[in-house]
């Protein structure tokens, strides 16, 4: 008895701590995700230590990641296009030094490297040079360093290109990924909602109890199948189906993703909206039937409107599931991070991007942090969705 | 009111059509599930053999078995439950038995809902940041198990809470009347009655965890590791990641298709077994408790 007096409070304290565990974990997730994610901003889009140089006479002082990529992709070939003098842009990287100078001129330990670069840059007023390490280059007399715009939240959100590993400057705009995610999820719900609603009406109002008791667990089993199995099924069945039906070069498209995610969202939609339909008070149903309405009219005019907010919650939850789904989206959407124009082209979703790229991103680097920032965006989206669901269902009560 | 009869007939036909449509859609969805299951079982069953289940993968994962992936998944499921089960059950007890209704309880419920709604890839990112890097576990069974445990936590909390809620209050009052303390009542009266339902939840959580891929991508999963893990600080292979790898990457996707079907079959079999087990348990104990 006395022992219990000591152990009981200890246990009760332990129970209380565990009770707060989910709140604590959500907090930890926020801290760790955002710590890495926020440190992404204000980094330079070029590799650490690397620098860009232009000729002293060049009036261009600042460049952003998009301009740098266009310059090195040779899409911009005249300084005039970015506010400089009217002269062609000459690309100059360390690799070209080997051609321009002999080994003797560079010196046995490359000790004359800065001198060589200097004289080379001097001879080309339109040159832009990209040198990996400041130390190897030293300070140039003929050239000046160009400032590179830091990664900002607004370019992260609005830029339409996602080339996280391109050099000299990475372009990290989440627009194509965000739109890809929304496109796939939107159509997944467009397919799943009418089907799910019809099934939930059947289960809640039409089927007799015996049938319902058999169908319900079977439909719930759909939720138990692992997403990687759905992805695999999509890969070997739905992708070829889409490819053959629409005569496409590849079947891994937004449409294939939408179909697979629609199947995966079905059990959520059915369970939640069936529960909502069941809450309709018996008196309302019977009043409608007593006025001469048929059973279907009662469903359409009384039960569904009464459950509207629950059905909305089901749809929102379904969208949330689709947006956050990783493996199936990764396996069937084709993974091409370009702005989506149609359902029949490959796209890439946010979670798929994280899953595909994090393994290859150097730890703690720009790309690594960009993926955490992407995770923050995804987390915020799902948080908003959860709060929306909470609000919509709170209204009912 | 002018043409009650025709109106009536239209009503009846409309109803028959709509009932037919919704019935058709419902059975269509069931048929879809059976199609998926049937497809994977049909393609996979020929691959399954004792050797497939107990041999190491060979020839660039196009031949041999999936033994290390099965063992790895067992380790991960066991490890995650070791964390999620006690913490989740105690959290469920707190929410249902101790917490007083009010803003704090609402907050806890909201957080549990939020945790349940967090996408699995976020758990992967978080597990990598906290367990792999911050705590220095590296990519290991320990880090992977903890990550999966966090993912399973809201499931265990929810089912525990629901199970406790269904225990009639008269049981508690009877125990209090006999002088039982709160904790004693929970331990000796409430938990034993709720246990079958809690176990059902545990089984479903096992099913969920065994198929998760995204949380283990960066915390534990090894692309190819044809040996068993030596300790919990070791990496390991896992069934869902193995299926992902051999069906999407590598140079011999076609050659490894049979292995992929076999792996998918094993995953589906786990899900089916787990669900049937849960249903049986619920049925069996459901009757027993009612008799008391």
A contact test, residue of B119, B124, B209, B270 with most A CBs within 10 A: B119
Q: Percent helix, strand and coil across chain B, each rounded to 5?
A: 75, 0, 20
B contact test, residue of A196, A301, A327, A359 with most B CBs within 10 A: A327
What CATH superfamily classification does A175-396 receive? Answer: MetI-like (1.10.3720.10)
pLDDT at B291: 39
pLDDT at A72: 79
Q: At a CB cut-off of 8 Å and minimum separation 6, what does A22 contact?
A: B91, B108, B111, B112, B114, B115, B153, B154, B157
Cβ neighbours of A221 in B, within 8 Å = 33, 271-272, 275
What pairs with residue A145 in β-bridges? Answer: A53
Asked if A215's CB is within 8 angstroms of B117's CB, the reply is: no
Q: Which residue from A257, A96, A284 is spatially nearest to A185, judged by alpha carbons?
A: A257
Q: Is A10 on the interface with B (CB under 8 A)?
A: no
Q: Are B136 and B174 in contact (CB under 8 A)?
A: no
pLDDT at B290: 45
pLDDT at B263: 94
CA distance A246 to chain B (A): 22
Which residue of chain A comes nearest to B104, CA vs CA?
A20
pLDDT at A119: 77
Select from A19, A230, A320 the Cβ nearest to the Cβ of B91. Answer: A19
- Cα distances (Å, whole numbers) of residue A294 to A67, A172, A301, B16: 66, 57, 10, 11
Q: Is B76 on the interface with A (CB under 8 A)?
A: no
Q: Which two tokens stand for residue A370?
A: 């960009």
Pairing of strands A127-131, A90-93: parallel
How far is the first Cα of chain A from the last one, in angstroms, to the nearest whole number? 45
- Grouping H, G, I as helix, E, B as strand and the rest as coil, residue A54 is strand
ipTM score for this prediction: 0.91
Asked if A226's CB is within 8 angstroms of B210's CB, the reply is: yes
Query: CB burial class (10 A; 0-12, 13-18, 19+) of residue A63?
Result: buried
Domain boundaries, chain A: 51-149, 175-396
Chain A neighbours among B 10-49 (CB < 8 Å)? 11-12, 14-15, 18-19, 21-23, 25-26, 28-30, 32-33, 36, 39-40
Q: Are A79 and A126 in contact (CB under 8 A)?
A: yes
Chain B neighbours among A 218-237 (CB < 8 Å)? 218-219, 221-222, 224-233, 235-237
Identify the residue whose tokens are 């409070």. A9
Below-50 pLDDT ranges, chain A? none
CA distance B7 to chain A (A): 11
How do residues A307-323 score in pLDDT, each as one tens digit? 999 999 999 999 999 99
Chain B neighbours among A 241-300 (CB < 8 Å)? 263, 266, 270, 294-297
CA distance A200 to chain B (A): 8
3-class DSSP string for A197-225: HHHHHHHHHHCCHHHHHHHHHHHHHHHHC
What pairs with residue A52 in β-bridges? Answer: A130
Q: Which residue from B282, B287, B290 is spatially nearest to B168, judged by alpha carbons?
A: B290
Q: If one looks up domain A51-149 in CATH, what number appears?
A: 3.40.190.10
Select from A20, A236, A294 the Cβ nearest to the Cβ of B11. Answer: A294
Asked if B94's CB is within 8 angstroms of A32's CB, the reply is: no
Q: Would you give per-residue pLDDT tens digits along chain B (292 residues)?
A: 455 555 678 888 888 899 999 999 999 999 999 999 999 999 999 989 998 898 888 777 778 889 999 999 999 999 999 999 999 999 999 999 999 888 999 999 999 999 999 999 999 999 999 999 999 999 999 999 999 999 999 999 999 999 999 899 999 999 999 998 899 999 999 999 999 889 988 998 999 999 999 999 999 988 888 788 888 898 999 999 999 998 887 667 778 888 999 999 999 999 999 988 888 888 777 655 543 3
Nearest 5 degrees, angle CA A295-CA A316-CA A20? 115
pLDDT at B1: 47
Cβ neighbours of A270 in B, within 8 Å = 29
Q: Which residue from A356, A328, A323 is spatially nearest to A165, judged by alpha carbons?
A: A356
- Asked, as a colleague might, if the bond just before A168 is cis with ω within 30 of 0, I would say yes
CA distance B231 to chain A (A): 23
pLDDT at A19: 92
CB atoms within 10 A of CB B218: 22
Instruction: Give the H/E segment covering residue A351.
Output: helix A350-357
Select from A28, A235, A385 the Cβ nearest to the Cβ of B247. Answer: A235
């Amino acid at each position: 008895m006395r022992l219990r007096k000591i152990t009981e409070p200890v246990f009760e304290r332990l129970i209380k701590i565990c009770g707060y565990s989910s709140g604590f974990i959500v907090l930890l997730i926020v801290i760790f995700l955002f710590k890495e994610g926020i440190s992404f901003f204000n980094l330079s889009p070029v590799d650490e230590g690397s620098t860009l140089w232009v000729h002293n006479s060049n009036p261009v002082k600042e460049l952003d990641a998009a301009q740098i990529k266009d310059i090195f992709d040779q899409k911009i070939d005249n300084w005039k296009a970015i506010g400089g003098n009217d002269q062609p842009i000459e690309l100059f990287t360390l690799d070209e030094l080997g051609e321009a100078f002999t080994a003797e001129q560079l010196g046995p330990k490359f000790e004359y490297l800065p001198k060589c670069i200097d004289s080379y840059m001097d001879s080309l007023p339109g040159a832009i040079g990209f040198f990996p390490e400041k130390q190897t280059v030293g300070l140039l007399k003929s050239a000046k360093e160009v400032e590179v715009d830091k990664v900002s939240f607004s370019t992260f959100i609005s830029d339409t290109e996602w080339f996280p590993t391109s050099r000299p400057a990475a372009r990290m705009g989440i627009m194509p990924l965000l739109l890809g995610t929304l496109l796939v999820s939107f159509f997944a719900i467009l397919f799943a909602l009418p089907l799910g609603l019809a099934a939930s009406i059947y289960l809640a109002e039409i089927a007799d109890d015996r049938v319902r008791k058999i169908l319900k667990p079977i439909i719930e089993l759909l939720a138990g199948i692992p997403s990687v199995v759905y992805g695999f099924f999509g890969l070997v069945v739905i992708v070829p189906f889409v490819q053959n039906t629409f005569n496409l070069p590849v079947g891994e498209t937004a449409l294939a993703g939408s179909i697979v995610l629609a199947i995966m969202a079905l059990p959520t939609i059915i369970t939640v909206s069936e529960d909502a339909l069941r809450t309709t008070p018996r008196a309302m149903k019977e009043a409608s039937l007593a006025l001469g309405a048929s059973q279907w009219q009662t469903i359409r005019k009384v039960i569904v409107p009464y459950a509207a907010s629950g059905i909305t919650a089901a749809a929102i939850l379904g969208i949330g599931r689709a947006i956050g789904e990783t493996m199936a989206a990764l396996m069937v959407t084709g993974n091409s991070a370009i702005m989506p124009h149609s359902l029949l082209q490959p796209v890439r979703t946010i979670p798929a991007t994280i899953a595909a790229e994090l393994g290859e991103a150097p730890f703690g680097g720009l790309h690594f942090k960009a993926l955490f920032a992407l995770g923050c965006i995804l987390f915020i989206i799902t948080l908003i969705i959860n709060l929306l669901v909470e609000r919509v269902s709170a209204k009912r009560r | 009111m002018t043409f009650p009869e025709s109106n009536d007939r239209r009503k009846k036909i409309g109803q028959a059509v709509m009932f037919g449509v919704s019935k058709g859609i419902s059975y269509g969805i069931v048929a879809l599930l059976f199609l998926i299951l049937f497809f994977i079982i049909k393609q996979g069953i020929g691959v399954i053999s004792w050797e497939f289940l107990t041999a190491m993968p060979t020839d660039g994962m196009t031949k041999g078995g999936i033994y290390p992936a099965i063992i790895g998944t067992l380790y991960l499921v066991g490890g995650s439950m070791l964390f999620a089960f006690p913490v989740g059950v105690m959290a469920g007890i707190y929410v249902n038995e101790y917490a007083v209704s009010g803003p704090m309880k609402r907050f806890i419920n909201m957080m549990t809902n939020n945790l349940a709604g967090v996408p699995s890839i976020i758990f992967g990112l978080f597990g990598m940041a906290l367990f792999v890097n911050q705590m220095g576990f590296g990519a290991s069974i320990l880090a992977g198990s903890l990550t999966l445990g966090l993912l399973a936590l809201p499931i265990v909390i929810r089912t525990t809470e629901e199970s406790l809620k269904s225990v009639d209050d008269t049981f508690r009052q009877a125990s209090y009347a006999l002088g039982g303390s709160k904790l004693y009542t929970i331990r000796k009266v409430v938990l034993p009655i709720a246990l079958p339902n809690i176990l059902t939840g545990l089984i479903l959580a096992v099913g969920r965890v065994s198929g998760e891929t995204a949380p283990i991508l960066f915390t534990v999963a090894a692309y190819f590791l044809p040996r068993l893990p030596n300790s919990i600080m070791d990496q390991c292979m896992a069934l869902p990641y193995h299926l992902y790898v051999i069906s999407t990457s590598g140079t011999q996707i076609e050659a490894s298709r049979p292995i992929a079907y076999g792996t998918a079959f094993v995953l589906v079999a786990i899900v089916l077994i787990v669900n049937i087990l849960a249903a049986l348990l619920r049925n069996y104990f459901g009757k027993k408790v009612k008799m008391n």
